[in-house]
């Protein structure tokens, strides 16, 4: 079994689950790309490494994907082969590494635009490359970016306590926290109150905006591109459901981790496959005009 396949299977992630829909060759390629993303994330998050060692490991991966060094046997060789055989644009992959590198010595985003700049690197760029690997055309780029933003915002909301407790990271923008009177101590002490609920509802509105944008862009794509992007659309359904769960539960992120069971994931994958992907709970993009008028929103 290829090392990338082992990494993907062991991860048991939402994305890994949705890859079962792909033809074998594309599934292998996506497993290779997912393994690359997983390893980059682990370099930054796994305990036991010094800061210098983390930076050196990330630099090594930069050299692998740009063909600056000879890859070692195993996952490096697989990722190198993926990049060269598909002639991938490595810029998004390098942006991912740069974004993850910033988490070694994290700086909290001051504004929403700062947060989106970070989300572009660690999520939107993943979406851009994933769309290419899955066989979609360049027309899918905007869809992939919008969906990447939406998924990352849901992750940040869901994992706000874990990010603080395990890594000492705060991803909610300072400006937004100040707007609702939420402090770092509130998050460290996991204080569930009205101010925290309002802050998370504010971030949820931004996530909803990107889900809406992604859905509209998806429906404008060709049938061929939509067929390639079924795993991505299933991810949209899964993560939007996680968002809805948080909303219905009034964002009790300090008490539980929100998720979707495998049976429902399978249903979403089938739903995406058979083109029944309309999401009536999402507003139209015109209803989010106030976001368009403020780039930081």
Same domain? 91 vs 125:
no
Do both 232 and 98 map to the same domain? no
Residues 111 and 246 in one domain: yes
Listed residues 87, 105, 123: the one ending a domain: 105
- Residues 116 and 259 grouped into a single domain: yes
Q: Same domain, yes or no, for 36 and 9? A: yes
* Same domain (yes/no): 4, 94: yes
Q: Are residues 36 and 157 in the same domain?
A: no
Q: What integer pLDDT is reported at residue 159 of this predicted model?
A: 97
Residue 20 confidence (pLDDT):
79
What is the structure's pLDDT at 6? 85
186 shares a domain with 150: yes
Last residue of a domain, one of 59, 84, 105: 105
pTM: 0.89
Q: Residue 215: give the domain boundaries.
A: 107-297
188: CB partners within 8 A, 6+ apart? 164, 165
pLDDT tens track, the chain, 297 positions: 588 888 877 776 777 778 877 889 999 999 999 999 999 999 999 999 999 999 999 999 999 999 999 999 999 999 999 999 999 999 999 999 999 999 999 999 999 999 999 999 999 999 999 999 999 999 999 999 999 999 999 999 999 999 999 999 999 999 999 999 999 999 999 999 999 999 999 999 999 999 999 999 999 999 999 999 999 999 999 999 999 999 999 999 999 999 999 899 999 999 998 864 444 444 444 444 434 444 433
Residue 179 and residue 45 share a domain: no
- For the chain, the domain total comes to 2
State the pLDDT at residue 32. 95
Q: What is the pLDDT of residue 125?
A: 98
């Amino acid at each position: 079994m290829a090392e990338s396949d082992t990494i993907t299977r062991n991860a048991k992630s939402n994305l890994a689950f949705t890859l079962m829909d792909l033809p074998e060759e594309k599934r292998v390629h996506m497993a290779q790309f997912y393994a690359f993303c997983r390893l980059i994330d682990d370099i930054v998050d796994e305990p036991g490494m010094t800061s210098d060692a983390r930076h050196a490991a990330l630099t090594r991966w930069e050299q692998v994907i740009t063909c600056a060094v000879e890859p070692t046997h195993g996952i490096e060789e697989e990722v190198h082969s993926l990049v060269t055989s598909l002639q991938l644009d490595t810029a998004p992959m390098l942006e991912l590494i740069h974004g993850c590198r910033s988490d070694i010595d994290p700086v909290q985003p001051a504004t929403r635009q700062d947060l989106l700049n970070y989300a572009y690197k660690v999520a939107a760029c993943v979406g851009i490359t994933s769309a290419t690997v899955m066989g979609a055309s360049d027309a899918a780029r905007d869809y992939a970016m919008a969906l990447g933003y939406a998924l990352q915002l849901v992750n940040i909301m869901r994992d706000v306590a874990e990010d603080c407790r395990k890594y000492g990271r705060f991803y909610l923008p300072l400006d937004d926290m100040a707007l609702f009177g939420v402090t770092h101590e509130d998050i460290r002490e996991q204080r569930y109150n009205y101010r925290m609920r309002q802050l998370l509802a504010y971030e949820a509105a931004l996530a909803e905006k990107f889900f809406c944008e992604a859905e509209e862009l998806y429906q404008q794509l060709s049938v061929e591109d939509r067929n390639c992007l079924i795993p991505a659309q299933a991810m949209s359904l899964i993560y939007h459901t996680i968002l809805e769960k948080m909303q219905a539960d009034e964002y009790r992120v300090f008490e539980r981790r929100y998720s979707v069971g495998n049976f429902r994931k399978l249903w979403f994958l089938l739903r995406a496959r058979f083109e029944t992907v309309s999401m009536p709970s999402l507003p139209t993009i015109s209803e989010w005009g106030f976001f368009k008028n403020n780039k930081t929103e």
